[in-house]
Amino acid sequence: MTDLSRAKACVQAHHAAMAGATHDTVATALGQHLSPEATWRGMHPFHVQTGPEAIAATFWTPFLHAMAHVQRREDIFFAGHNHLEAGGTWVTSMGHFMALFDAPFLGIQPTGKIVMVRYAEFSRVDGDQITEQALFVDLLHLMAQVGQYPLPNMTAAQLVQPGPRTHDGLLRGDQDPDESARTLALVERMIGSINHANSAENPPTPHEELAENWHEDFVWWGPTGIGATFTIDRYIEQHQRPFRTQLGARKYNGHIARFAEGAYGGFFGWANLTMECSGPYMGLPPSSRHADMRVVDIYRRDGDKLAENWIFIDMLHFLNMQGLDVLAQLDVRAR
């Protein structure tokens, strides 16, 4: 087996163990494949935890208590060697946790009906254990599904997001290394185009910048709070322009892992960006406060350009740093 195959097998075994876990047994299930000192990063209000017991107590036990018959509905699965300085072999899983929402969760009130909870998971595998993991779950997406969305309208569309148009995102076997290298090079080129547009004395137009690396009909599957959008022009209108004009003093902090396999690639950071909320954004007034964005990007390459992009942002953390505690508001409404 290759290094990537072994890493994938470890994560698949972890998923199998978790599939049979209950809120009473999930700590034991986590301990089968996570190291005792595994670092786990979760979105607000879960943040950074160490070891299976703390991870279970903080997120999985409450989640599995609230959600019955949880299924991992995976749309994308790939692995790669992190080419950043931190190195390591990483595996990405992305899709939805499908469940019956039967008990309160973080102040979100249950419906007794089916829900689809968007997730993206990054696991670093060393030997036969997961030593780091990041789990992004779109909590605003859950709130919107059950009619408890706490913010004004989004600039783009809110919907349960599908997997790749090509239905080929589950890379169980080994992929052509040359194709993986092409994907990573394109992601790097796209990042360079953003940096150039932000710093150039005479920057390209937004459409010119994007057309270098994106298909005209690309889909941007954005996080709830911003939403999903389709085609370069609508992406500019419904995401890029508000983001660039209403969030100032942007500082890039870097990524923890960035890698690709086959036609798929991605990265996450903690936090990727820090910015000042200088204008109204997400329907909220300017706060003039600096706030972090912890971001996941997952890409599908089609030929020599990017065709789809799935985004996760820790929106509750971003809003909390501006003084808006969404979960506290939900708790007050529930009383």
Tokens representing residue 101 in the block: 């929402």
What pLDDT sits at residue 285? 84
Give mean pLDDT, residues 27-36: 98
| Bigger pLDDT: 97 vs 203 | 97
What pLDDT sits at residue 152? 84
Average pLDDT along the chain: 94
What pLDDT sits at residue 334? 58
Give mean pLDDT, residues 286-300: 93
* For residue 335, pLDDT beyond 60: no
* For residue 131, pLDDT beyond 70: yes
Of 20-24, 245-249, 283-287, least confident by mean pLDDT is: 283-287
What pLDDT sits at residue 289? 87
What pLDDT sits at residue 136? 98
Using an 8 Å Cβ cutoff, are 317 and 43 in contact?
Answer: yes
Give mean pLDDT, residues 163-187: 97
Give mean pLDDT, residues 209-231: 96
Q: How many CA atoms lie within 13 Å of 322's alpha carbon, on the beta-carbon side?
A: 24
| Bigger pLDDT: 138 vs 157 | 138
Q: In what order do the strands lie in the sheet with 257-261?
A: 229-230, 214-221, 305-313, 295-302, 264-268, 257-261
Domains along the sequence of the chain with CATH: 3-145 (3.10.450.50), 177-334 (3.10.450.50)
* For residue 332, pLDDT beyond 70: no
From 220, 253, 246, select the one nearest 234 (Cα to Cα).
220
pLDDT interval class at 294 (50, 70, 90): very high
Using an 8 Å Cβ cutoff, are 218 and 306 in contact?
Answer: yes
pLDDT interval class at 213 (50, 70, 90): very high
What pLDDT sits at residue 92? 98
What pLDDT sits at residue 127? 94
Look up the pTM and report it. Answer: 0.95
* For residue 43, pLDDT beyond 70: yes
Q: Where are the alpha helices (DSSP H) in the chain?
A: 3-19, 26-31, 52-55, 61-66, 139-145, 177-199, 206-211, 232-235, 241-246, 315-320, 326-334
